[in-house]
Structure 1
């Protein structure tokens, strides 16, 4: 459940305690401040969602509940934007009035008047009414800009806890109250109205920055949800009709045309096509689909028309499961965070006790009441982590600036802090170690190939593929263009879904595709079977070329390793880091790439959910893990890792989930 109104770790602890104490049947409650989300396990027979919401609201916090027409992500985003606007207005008021307070309280206004001849140093007397002006300027800062701290302190004390709001409210109120006493003439001493206003205003700066940062937390999840098709074409009463994706039911027959996203998880019941599953697996090679094959929602149908029976819809689809994995990883608490929560529970009472002892100690040592009171306020303010948060950004900014200068962008300071503790780096394969696009690696000729050889065969094959949008076709065309081979315009072009293409090129009948295409066309391939097996043993994708009914060559294609990948792996190992590869690709391909870059530990054929589980298993062993990836399928693992590192050339979802982005790719 998305929560509103939290300000510090004690707020999260308060909600956890309230849920456990006030709602019978709650088994476990965990609240994550960074993601503003509560995860609750409860027994349905003893509690309901409404009971949970009522308990959270009793504690003084809110639960975002979307309207019927909105998704919960839209509702959360709207609530966060409203919170940012409210915080911005409060900060504007605080800055305005605190600015005037400083001008007056520190005689800057008097100096301004002196410079321009309105008064002089000879006749300056501190007017009696100035303190009343300061009182009037400080009051709206505390009541409007500081309202959150007072309401937060009230909620906390009502729940018999003391959070950071109590420190801020107490520190500001003591300075303000003391100054009021001086102003009405009960004491003759300096006032500290500007101190009270400054406490509230400066900490509000930090709160606004924090609200903006938290507003970005759900961006990756929203981008994931955006991958889902909005509508689906289904058969109803013998006709094809477009319906909202929410209206699709298990068992419906769904029609998907070439170039469209597959709207739901299902089984192909008619048609053939090549489907781009890179969203799920991260692999660039399309997967051939025919009757009986499973297809996944949000993947892209590239070629043929498919008729699919819906098997999983709504929250049961693979995409929805990926979203849940990312949510769970982002919302989970690291062991160090749990320790911090325990410290926070006793921190505030301890600080208040220390402040009182400081006050009494100074009085006992002969200091004036004013001096002792100033020391008390100082302890309250300096002890507040919000104030500490204003003192530490300098180091953070310098570190992030150094990183940015080298193409390393940190999305948050936690990633920067955690990076120096890393001992294990897990690398995705496609798009991280490799270019994420197929390229021609070999062309092996049949013994009776045409005299012109490799160049002529590449010319005819690339010419036939010019009209195809298939990634393998584009790779063959790119190889011909890279070698400066002139291409011909094909005629009688025909794309054969899931198999390849046929065309007439320069007087030859060209057939180009997989082994099944050769078999169905009756083309003998005996002279090239050994060459094809050799390519497949090296993890190559094979494309067969037939001219005029005779197999003349087999083309090997593969995703090639990025320049510098092997050097990067070597550098990581030299730093004492363990390096592993985690990929959804088949084992043969994964091990071939791993050997090329110098990685010995390989986890292959791993789905997105298992990637996050693999990272969690390493963490359970005591490893501090960095996950490096670029794809949507990497998002759960990036969120689970201690430090998620996204390749800048990768997907928006990956960059939104990771704490670090490498601009260079």
Structure 2
């Protein structure tokens, strides 16, 4: 690997790779859209085996992984069916009839009520019960446990009253609670993107088939999984390399930018190693298989991502933390109420009714909507700003960030070449040099050519017509324009032909990690052109804004130190870690976290995936690979580093709104629990369930209005 870094500037051919960067950027945007659509399409696909999914999904749910796109439709269906069943439950409830002053009682009506409520309890309440069980298994009670407790107590007690126990039933409370909680979960899931497929996306990078060679060099196509150590494979131009191996015949430029972050395609020849998943650009090569399956580079990245995701999924978001407290409060206040009423000499059934009322009231309906409505508003605001939030718990934490780590290639830079310097020989103008070079390069396909041609177009220079054109491997290109012989060649060619040029200037440009090519007119040196991976203008502004907020900016890159330092100087970044291998990126992020800092990582390639999954907040650039997007918590659709700043601001505002809403929801509890427990019973004041219902509706409405007031 390190040799390749050193070969960075060695020859023009080193960069010959179809200038796909532009198309790739576009392609990724397309991919990105399709990934997004895929999630929505996915939603419908799952809803038949819902009970099974429920369990699966909710296992995660307790962990704050609200990412199950395929469960959205399931919650939606459960909500509508439960809502339809709730209407007859409300009509049949004696408590509701008393409240509106009618008597619609008829024989056996309570059994019909019991049957309908049983259906809502099992059908609508099932996700909460299974979710509660898995939260308790993890010894981490949250929202699911709280809802599960309330509906279990309400259902159990109400069923007893149907079959002869003295007391009033809570079936209406049970049904409305389940409806609102289902609605809240549906809104929340719909607003947060679909399931995380990071690992599937990584696996997709590997081609399914390889061209295997036998002893006589005959090719047979075999599945990649069947390749063994020391097998021989052929890789044609434009194909992905199926396995890690060593070239034994042929040479080519290999684009490893997706995997290693090295911005320039690397010229490889016999004896060099290639990585599975990278793209062979120009020549056919034959490779001996070295590592397959678990040992391959990509498999190791997959393992790193999986480990990082598992360690991170333990974080709970704000509502779950609030629900955890309410769960303990519900249990404690319920039992305290029961004992005090019994101590005061009341009948067990009266004491039990108080206890049940307290436990059911502790799970406020408003809590079910407090967060989801804020999330829905915040997600739509963020989507308009080009931010896709995939992991809520980590997005909530973005307001506390101390450091933002940026990957260089593709994140701070565009991942495409542009002209940075033109050094003309005496008698030539800068624009002459660029016009001649661009006119010759317009037929070529590599990134350097694209960079020179685009720079000429940006300056509105008229390109000349080419009469002849040929590419000289390893040396550069040659053509005939307006009857003159024109060459654009590598430093190697100039050195071989002992031409005079400004050595100091050349050294200085190379030190900055720039690629330098020379223009010859009729075999005379006319000037040199330096190119580099272009820095995104928005990156400078982003770094400046982050510094104003007192946040450290750090750059991590697989590229060489000189290139990294040059980019960092242009952008104004403080700390630089260069030549970092992908598995080290995650370790570097861990080291920064060990300072006690909250760290965000911004990246775009496969090599960034483990670090994105390790950081407190992983931010992927939308123009990057699907893998990076799938391992991130937030995706910046516009690929604009400045959005990192907007993201932190929005996180702070969203969090404040959620805290306000949770106080509104819990505020109702703070008043209702003591009243329901009968604190004012001595003066004849007990919170009747009907009044409780009115208070509950009010707190729910306040929460909904407050959520709508969130502004970007």
Please tell me the TM-score bracket, short chain as reference.
0.7 to 0.9
Shift of 1:374: 5.1
SS state of the match for residue 255, structure 1?
strand
In structure 2, which of residues 431, 435, 440 is the aligned counterpart of residue 455 of structure 1?
431
The alpha-carbon distance between structure 1 residues 514 and 282, as it changes in their structure 2 partners (threshold 3 A), is same
Confirm or deny: 8 A CA contact 1:523 1:551 kept in the other structure. Answer: no
1:294-443, aligned counterparts within 5 Å? 294-333=273-312, 351-362=330-341, 364=343, 372-373=351-352, 375-381=354-360, 388=367, 390-400=369-379, 403-404=382-383, 406-443=385-422
1:143-542 to structure 2, matched below 5 A, reads 143-147=122-126, 168-184=147-163, 186-187=165-166, 190-205=168-183, 216-238=194-216, 239-333=218-312, 351-362=330-341, 364=343, 372-373=351-352, 375-381=354-360, 388=367, 390-400=369-379, 403-404=382-383, 406-447=385-426, 451=427, 453-497=429-473, 499-518=475-494, 522-542=496-516
Evaluate the alpha carbon distance shift between residue 291 and residue 177 of structure 1 in structure 2; reply closer, same or farther with a 3 A threshold: closer
Q: CA deviation at 1:634?
A: 1.7
Secondary structure of the residue aligned to 2:270 is coil
Cα deviation, residue 138, structure 1? 0.9
Q: CA deviation at 1:473?
A: 0.9
Assess, with a 3 A threshold, how the Cα gap between structure 1 residues 393 and 281 changes in structure 2: closer, same or farther. same
Counterpart secondary structure, 2:576: strand
Tell me which residue corresponds to 1:5. Answer: 55
The size of the alignment, in residue pairs, is 586
Map residues 89-104 of structure 1 onto 2, 5 A cutoff: 89-104=77-92
1:559 to 511, 533, 537: 533
Contact 1:646/1:654 (CA < 8 Å) preserved in 2? yes
SS in 1 for 2:583: helix
Deviation sequence 1:409-437 (CA, Å, 0-9, x none): 43232123211221112122223222221
Distance in structure 2 (CA, Å) of the matches to 1:482 and 1:95:
60
Q: Which residue of 2 aligns with 1:602?
A: 576
How far does residue 510 in structure 1 lie from its aligned partner after superposition? 3.0
Tell me if the contact between 2:125 and 2:151 (Cα under 8 Å) persists in the aligned partners: no
Q: Deviations over 1:606-663 (max 9, x none)?
A: 1221111100111122111111223332221111111112233433332332222334
Q: Using CA pairs below 8 Å that are at least 6 residues apart, which structure has the higher relative contact order?
A: 2
* Distance change in 2, residues 1:323/1:279 (3 Å): same
Instruction: Check if 1:586 corresponds to 2:556.
Output: no
Q: In terms of mean alpha carbon deviation, does 365-374 or 342-351 score higher? A: 342-351
Distance in 2 between residues matched to 1:342 and 1:3, nearest whole Å: 24
Q: Against the structure 1 CA distance between its residues 580 and 281, is the aligned structure 2 distance closer, same or farther, given a 3 Å change threshold?
A: same
SS, match of residue 213 in structure 2: strand
Structure 2 SS opposite 1:262:
coil
Q: How far apart, in 2, do the equivalents of 1:385 and 1:645 lie?
A: 34
Q: Where in structure 2 are there 5+ consecutive unaligned residues?
A: 1-51, 641-712
Quick one: structure 1 residues 304 and 552, their matched pair in 2 at CA, closer, same or farther if it must change by over 3 Å? Answer: farther
Greater shift after overlay, 217-226 or 99-108? Answer: 99-108
1:176-205: CA deviation from partner (whole Å, max 9, x where unpaired): 343334445553x54321222334444445
**C-alpha distance in 1 between matches for 2:353 and 2:234:** 74
Q: Distance in 2 between matches of 1:385 and 1:317?
A: 52
For residues 102 and 315 of structure 2, the distance between their equivalents in structure 1, rounded to whole angstroms, comes to 61
In structure 2, how many angstroms separate the alpha carbons of the residues matched to 1:122 and 1:375?
Answer: 24
Any idea what SS the aligned residue of 1:661 has? strand
Q: For 1:527, what is the secondary structure of its paired residue?
A: coil
**Gap change, CA 1:260 and 1:597, over 3 Å in 2:** same
Structure 1 stretch 610-619 or stretch 385-394: which is displaced more? Answer: 385-394
Name the SS of the counterpart of 1:269 in structure 2. strand
Distance of 1:323 and 1:565 partners within structure 2 = 29
1:6-25 matches, within 5 Å, as: none
Within 2, Cα distance between the matches of 1:332 and 1:385? 31
Partner in structure 2 of residue 661 of structure 1: 635
SS for the counterpart of 1:140 is helix
CA 150–331 in structure 1, closer or farther in 2 if over 3 Å, else same: closer
Distance 2:155 2:108 in 1: 17
What secondary structure is seen at the aligned counterpart in 2 of 1:304? coil
After superposing the two structures, state which structure 1 stretch, 263-272 or 608-617, moved more.
Answer: 263-272
Local SS of the residue matching 2:409: coil
RMSD across aligned positions (CA): 4.2
More helix by share: 2
Native 8 Å contact 2:65 2:313 kept in 1 = no
Name the SS for the 1:599 alignment partner. coil
Conserved 8 A contact 1:273-1:498:
no
**Distance verdict in 2 for CA 1:333–1:635, change over 3 Å:** closer
Which residues in structure 2 correspond to 1:37-48 (within 5 Å)? none
**Cα deviation per residue 1:463-510 (whole Å; 9 max; x = unaligned)?**
222222211111111122222333344355333455533333332333
Between 163-172 and 286-295, the greater mean CA deviation after superposition:
163-172
Task: Give how far 1:596 is off.
Answer: 1.6
